Amino acid sequence: MRGLERVQMAEETRAGSGSVATVEALVARVPLERATSFATRRVTARDYVLVTVTGDDGVSGHGFCYAGSTGGEVVRSAVTDLLAGVVLGRDPFLVERIWQDMYQEALLHGRTGSVMRAISALDIALWDRNARAVGLPLHRMLGGYRAETVPAYASGGYYLEGKGPEELGAELAGYVESGFRAVKMKTGRLSPAEEEERVAAARRAVGEDVLLMLDANNAWSDLPGALRTIERLAPYDPFFIEEPFSPDDIDNHARLARATPVPVATGEIEAGRWRHKELLEKEAAAVLQTDAAVCGGITEFRRIAALAAGHGIPVAPHWFHDLHAHLVASTPNCTFVEFFPDDAVLNFRRLLDTQLSVREGELVLPQTPGLGFRFDPAAVERYTVPGSAATAAA
C-alpha cells in the first residue's frame, strides 16, 4: 500500500463514525397510464434506479435516479458492479472524498450519462443516511436558507391525444386556481402557428401576472428553426424557453440567447461542473436547471450552484421535487422547485411512502430526518424489474 493511501485510511479510521456496510440497488419500471409526448419523443414507462446505503450503525439512506424507459439495468450495474466497492467500508460522512474516488473509478466508463447517474444516486443516499444519522432534515444539514416552504412552479402542459389549446389552457388555469403563480408547458412539437395558438391559449387562461415557462425538450436542430417559433411566442411574455437545442449544442444556446429577448434555460441533462462552467462562460443559459440526480449528486450540485452564483445566474432544478425542495431550501441562488401536481408523468412519487404538501403555491419542507420519505415496500415490490435487485456488502 502506498504511503498516501495509508494516511487517508488512517484519517478515515480516526473519524470514528462507522462505515458503510451494504449497498443495495434495483430497477423499478413504472408504466405511464397514458402515453405522453414531448417535442421529440413519446414516453410509455419510466425506469428508476433505487439505491439504499446502510451503515454498520444500522442507519440507511435512499438515493435514486431516472434511467429512461429501458436503461435501468445499465445504471444499476454501474452502482453495484463498478462503484459499490468504492463506497463499502468507508466512513459515510467523508462524502467529498467518496465522491472523488467514485468519479476517479468511473473515468474510463463515462463522466456523464448512466455512470454519472449512478454516482448521483449513491451520493444522494449517503447524504440522506448522514442526515438521518444526526437527526436533521436534509435541508437543515446542508445549511438552511429557507426554513418552512420553498417557491415552486406547476409543471405540465404535455401533448396528449385529443388535447387542444383550450384543454391546455384549462389545465394550466387549474394550477393557478390551486395557488401556483408560475406554470410550465411543453412547446416545439408542432408548427410555429400551432405552437402560437397553444401558448396564446395558455396565456389567456392564466392571466398576465402568472409566470409562463416553455419547455422545448431539444425541439430544434438549428438557430433559424428555433427563431421561427420563438419569435411568434415572445409576445406572450414567456419567462424562459427551456432546452431549445440538444444539450451538446451549447453554441446555439448562446446564439439564441443573443438573438431573442426570451431567456434561455438549460442544464437538466448536464453532468459535472465543467460542462456547466462552459454554459456559464459562453452565456448560453440565463437559468441553470441542474438536476442532482443527473449531474453527480448533491455534492456536485452544490458546487455547480456556487459556480452559477459567481456568475449571477439562478438555478431552478429539474423535476424530482422531493429531492430538490431540500436543495432549493439550502441554496440562496436557487429560485424554484419544479413540481408535478399529479403522478401522470412524474410517476416516481408512486414509489414513496410520504408526499410533499403544498401551501399557497409553495412546497412545505419536511421536518423529519433526511429526505423525509422512504421507498414504499409494497410499491417497490410491485414495480421492481425481475432479476434487477442486487446487494453488495463489505
Spatial distance between the Cα atoms of 343 and 254, rounded to a whole number of angstroms: 34
| pLDDT band for position 36 (cuts 50, 70, 90) | confident
CA contacts within 13 A on the Cβ side of 90: 24
| pLDDT band for position 13 (cuts 50, 70, 90) | very low
Residue of 137, 132, 158, 121 lying closest to 40 (CA atoms): 158
CB-based contact 165:199 (threshold 8 Å): no
Spatial distance between the Cα atoms of 271 and 25, rounded to a whole number of angstroms: 21
Would you give the end-to-end CA distance of the chain in angstroms?
19
Q: Which residues does residue 27 pair with via DSSP β-bridges, in sequence order? A: 49
**Alpha-carbon torsion 274, 280, 283, 289, what sign?**
positive
- Residue 210, SS3? coil
**Alpha-carbon torsion 366, 331, 315, 148, what sign?**
positive
pLDDT for 5 equals 46
Share of the chain above pLDDT 90, in %: 91
pLDDT in tens, 311-349: 999 999 999 999 999 999 999 999 999 999 989 888 999
CB-based contact 257:226 (threshold 8 Å): no
Convert 44-60 into a string of H (helix), E (strand) and C (coil): EEEEEEEEEEEECCCCE
pLDDT in tens, 183-215: 999 999 999 999 999 999 999 999 999 999 999
The DSSP annotation for 1-16 comes to: --HHHHHHHHHHHHH-
pLDDT in tens, 227-263: 999 999 999 999 999 999 999 999 999 999 999 999 9
- What kind and span of H or E run contains 154? strand 149-155
| pLDDT band for position 129 (cuts 50, 70, 90) | very high
> Parallel, antiparallel, or unpaired for β 42-55 and 60-66?
antiparallel
Residue of 143, 128, 53, 147 lying closest to 320 (CA atoms): 128
Q: Determine phi and psi for 358, rounding to 5 degrees.
A: -115, 135
Domain with CATH 3.20.20.120 in the chain: 140-364
Residue of 28, 78, 60 lying closest to 125 (CA atoms): 60
pLDDT in tens, 148-186: 999 999 999 999 989 999 999 999 999 999 999 999 999
pLDDT for 17 equals 62
Cα angle vertex 349, ends 344, 352, to 5°?
155
- How many angstroms separate the most distant Cα atoms in the chain? 69
pLDDT for 14 equals 38
Spatial distance between the Cα atoms of 214 and 70, rounded to a whole number of angstroms: 27
Domain 140-364 carries which CATH code?
3.20.20.120
Domain 3-135+377-393 carries which CATH code?
3.30.390.10
Domain with CATH 3.30.390.10 in the chain: 3-135+377-393
pLDDT in tens, 342-365: 898 889 999 999 999 999 999 999
